[in-house]
Amino acid sequence: MTNAIDPVIVAKDLRKKYGDITAVNGISFEVRPGEVFGMLGPNGAGKTTTVEILEGMRDADSGEAIINGINVKDDPTAVKAMIGVQLQQNAFFDNLKLSEIVDLYAKLYLAKVDPVEVLSRVGLDNRKNAKYAELSGGQKQRLSVAVALVNDPVVLFLDEPTTGLDPQARRQLWELVRKIQAGGATIVLTTHYMEEAEELCDRIAVVENGEIIALDTPDALIDQLLSTGFKPEKRVREANLDDVFLNLTGHDLRD
Amino acid sequence: MFWAQFFPLLIMIIFGMMNFDKYASPNVGIYDAANNDASQALILALGGTSDEELLSVTTGTLDELHNELEFGSSRAVIEISTNYGISGEFAEIKVTYDERFQQERAVVSTILGQVTDAVFKEAAQVPDEYRVENSIGVSETLITGQGQGFKAWLIPGVAAMAIMQTGLFTVVFTLVRFKSEGVLRRLKATPIGACSLPRRATHDKGYRRRRANLRTCHSGSHRAGSKRWRWKNRCVVRPNDPCTSRRSTIHSDRSRSFRLG
């Protein structure tokens, strides 16, 4: 398989310091095309900084970031043109309608899209004439994913996309991520939700203090833990509270 | 950025280069009815020397000169009577001012007074104590000219400054708000440069050129059916791209043994 040899993202020994604090301390990994790559880690572990270096939004102190064969440092504009970005804190122009925001960002990428079609991918087509300021938190999050898709990206970076979403919206977003993956894009996802990582990610990097302390498929990581003789304290029940909540409130998306 | 930092600097430089201290001699129209040596000497004296210009003198018919005064292109009309310079006769110099320009009026009046004094002394060649004051008399008339006078430039100036200030603060505050809300951060993640923000939506040659570098790759070294794109001389994975697919061209693959990363 050619896919196995040509990684779409290469991070080589990335390092970044903010003053005395080392945010990223020698992170290296490769992401294959079509993969959903998860980055897990506590707050301040360096996930976002790593992602931002890959996005070309921050310069690494040392190390190399290569996206689709292009060194991010050499040609950040070319890299930005072919990636989709969803930032942790998203802000758009408050007084623009959603369709206008999508149109604007499509123009910034010189892409021709139908705003309504893009909005319908995240289930916001019925809100196309609403202004950004009128949206709920979950809708804002979904809009930011829609905007990240305007240029039909090779690599999609999702930084904590489901933080602050209700279980319905989160499941809908998972569905969307799988759809995007099926469309051929590679996805880099950071999250705090383990079930999300387990559900979506093909491989997971666990980041701690700016270093990757584990990198494998979710199943392999669990197997490794079990092989050390680890036993969970409580037997996992067949359903969890998430299922209870969804059973009670339904799977329909709320606004 | 430009309006907040460079524009004030630009204004300062422009105004700094203007020399406001320089004495601008007032335009004065002189009608010489006498037209003799003495009156010409007087006109020459009023004009001053080339080193120190006193008044900027124009001559013409009385009607022309009054017309100029009326419409603001000159500040005073000096009419020298026919008997000027004839000894023993009382010559009257009639001066007409525009009452809106009191400062120029004072300047012209002072210069005229001093010059006539000096001319008289020289011409009469009498000691100061025998000087007959009124053998040259100066009479003043005030008219109100047409047009707006200083209001004509003060009001547009105030209006222009108000608009400029509003524009400046609006731009600065909007940018600051965008920065603090994170809108600019999101824009930073797009392929636009900070400087090309306003023109990006219309055209950016560099970006189009870079896009044009992306072409479909038809080298034989790939799995059949897999979609490959060329970026400059490298072969890259690239899903459907509406921007570049219309540019797709077939070209030979020079570097078959490529490596990524």
For residue A3, pLDDT over 50 is answered with no
3-state DSSP assignment of residue B97: strand
- CA-nearest of B139, B119, B120, B25 to B79 is B139
Give the Cα separation of A236 and A215 in Å (integer): 25
3-state secondary structure of A216: strand
List the structure tokens of B49. Answer: 């020397």
Distance CA A108, CA B43 (A): 70
The answer to whether A67 and A9 are in contact (CB under 8 A) is yes
State percent of chain B over pLDDT 70: 63
The residue type at A150: V
Of A69, A87, A108, the CB nearest to B231: A69
From chain B, the residues in CB contact with A102 under 8 A are none
The overall average pLDDT reported for chain A is: 87
> Across residues A196-215, what is the average pLDDT?
91
Tokens of A32: 């294959």
Cβ neighbours of B206 in A, within 8 Å: 77
CA–CA min distance A120, chain B (Å): 19
Contacts of A55 in chain B (CB under 8 A): 189
> Tokens representing B253?
């693959």
Average pLDDT over residues B235-256: 40
Which residue in the block uniquely carries the two structure tokens 């020994």? A13
Best of A8, A14, A68, A89 to disrupt the B interface (most B CBs within 10 Å) is A68
DSSP A96-148: SBHHHHHHHHHHHTT----HHHHHHHTT-GGGTTSBGGG--HHHHHHHHHHHH
| pLDDT for the residue A235 | 65
Global pTM reads 0.61
B175: closest CA of chain A, how far (Å): 12
What distance, in Å, lies between the first and last C-alpha atoms of chain A? Answer: 44
Distance to chain A for B22, nearest Cα, Å: 51
* CA distances, A30 to each of A67, A74, B230, B232 (Å): 10, 19, 21, 22
Averaged over B104-110, what is the pLDDT?
86
Q: How many CB pairs under 8 A join A and B?
A: 105
Q: Is the pLDDT of residue B220 over 60?
A: no
Query: What one-character DSSP code corresponds to residue B26?
Result: P
**Could you count the other beta carbons within 10 Å of the beta carbon of residue B164?**
13
Report the pLDDT value the prediction gives residue B211, as an integer from 0 to 100: 54
Cβ neighbours of B227 in A, within 8 Å: 184
* Mutate: best of B177, B179, B188, partner A, most A CBs <10 A: B188
Q: What is the DSSP string of A21-53?
A: EEEEEEEEEEE-TT-EEEEE--TTSSHHHHHHH
A57–B190: do the CB atoms touch at under 8 Å? no
Rounded to whole angstroms, the Cα distance separating B149 from A59 reads 60
Distance from CA of A88 to the nearest CA of B (A): 10
Number of H helices, E strands in chain B: 7, 8
Q: Across the interface, do A185 and B238 touch by the CB < 8 Å criterion?
A: no
> CB under 8 Å, gap of 24 or more: what pairs does B130-139 form?
B134/B90, B135/B88, B135/B89, B135/B90, B135/B91, B136/B84, B136/B90, B136/B91, B136/B92, B136/B93, B137/B90, B137/B91, B137/B92, B137/B93, B138/B92, B138/B93, B138/B95, B138/B112, B138/B113, B139/B92, B139/B93, B139/B94, B139/B95
pLDDT of residue B105: 86
- What average pLDDT does range B120-149 have in this prediction? 66
CB B142 within 8 A of CB B99: yes
Q: Mean pLDDT, to the nearest integer, of B138-166? A: 83
Q: Do A111 and B242 touch (CB under 8 A)?
A: yes
Say yes or no to pLDDT of B11 above 80: yes
pLDDT band at A195 (very low <50, low <70, confident <90, very high): confident
| pLDDT tens, residue by residue, A38-47 | 999 888 888 9
CB–CB contact B211 A185 (8 Å): no
Tell me: pLDDT of B230 over 90: no
Tokens of residue A128, six digits: 């196309």
Q: Do B231 and A78 touch (CB under 8 A)?
A: yes
How close, in Å, is residue A251 to chain B by CA atoms? 31
The answer for residues whose C-beta is within 8 angstroms of residue A185's C-beta and 6 or more apart is A34, A84, A153, A154, A155, A156, B239
The answer to whether A87 contacts B236, with C-beta atoms less than 8 Å apart, is no
CA distance B171 to A128: 28
| CB contacts, 8 Å: B192 with chain A | 108
Asked if B238 and A82 come within 8 Å (Cβ–Cβ), the reply is yes
The answer to whether the CB of B144 falls within 8 A of the CB of B98 is: yes
pLDDT at residue B123 tops 70: no
Shortest distance between the Cα of A91 and any Cα of chain B, in A, equals 5
Distance to chain A for B104, nearest Cα, Å:
55
Q: What ipTM does this complex have?
A: 0.79
Residues belonging to chain A with any Cβ–Cβ distance to chain B shorter than 8 Å:
2, 6-8, 10, 12, 30, 33, 55-57, 66, 68-70, 75, 77-78, 80-82, 85, 87, 89-93, 104-105, 107-113, 144, 147, 152, 154, 183-185
The Cα B7–Cα A127 span in angstroms is: 42
> Does residue B50 have a pLDDT over 90?
no
CA distance B146 to B102: 15
Choose among A69, A87, A93: nearest Cβ to B236.
A69
Number of C-beta neighbours around residue A113 at 10 A = 19
